[in-house]
Amino acid sequence: MEKSISYWNNLAVEAIHDEESFTELYEHFFPRVYKFIYAKTSDAEISDEIISRTFMKMFENLKNYNPNRAAFSTWFFQIALNELKMYWRSKSYRGEHEESWDEEFNPAAPDYEEPEKKILQAEMQEKIREALEKLPERERKIIEMTYWLNYPPRKIAEVLDLKPNTVSVILKRAKNSLKNLLS
């Protein structure tokens, strides 16, 4: 059976001074965070680099983790997201992806890569992030598990110690709240 959020929160606090607790956190969260990062990069080498930095940041800042402010998984995934953003902004990312144009290459960007659409997409992502932060923690957690970790309601129910129907109701409520916040 999946361990509860409070179990991982408490383990994170213990991991500050206990190597076994840190190892358990690492073994549990590594595949989940790696899957999240790989889904964003589609590149194993880049994902390896980002996951390494993510765990280093987590280790360095574990003493600052406060379980009363957020679930450990939320806190940790935010570190991963920040590392991913920092990588995309870095010169190394731009340098690695600059390629010379082939003579037959058509430099016109596909619709989804047009600058205006990228800006609109980035603005929408920021609005969604801000709206998610306004949701109660339980609703935010269910959204994250549904869309980041691709957990079905049954698995979310196990993790959060709820009934699957309750998870579905909370998810629907959270989606409606997001829709209202975004409109």
Instruction: Give the DSSP letter of residue 16.
Output: T
Is-contact 29 5, C-beta < 8 A? no
- Give the residue, 71 or 113, on which the prediction is more confident: 71
pLDDT at 129: 79
Please tell me the distance from the alpha carbon of residue 92 to that of residue 85, in angstroms, as a whole number: 13
SS3 content of the chain, % helix, strand, coil (to 5): 75, 0, 25
| pTM for the full predicted model | 0.50
> Can you say whether residue 116 is alpha, beta or left, with left for phi > 0 and alpha for psi between -120 and 50 degrees?
alpha
User: Tokens in use for 140?
Assistant: 């935010």
User: Tokens in use for 16?
Assistant: 């500050």
* Residue owning tokens 């979310």: 156
Longest dimension (CA), the chain: 59
**pLDDT tens profile 38-60:** 888 888 888 889 988 998 898 88
Nearest-10 crossing angle of helices 164-182, 115-134: 120
Continuous H helices in 90-152:
91-96, 115-134, 137-147
Reduce the DSSP state of residue 104 to 3 states and report it. coil
pLDDT above 70 covers a percentage of the chain that reads: 84
Asked whether residue 101 carries a pLDDT value surpassing 50, the answer given is: no
User: Tokens in use for 149?
Assistant: 């970790």
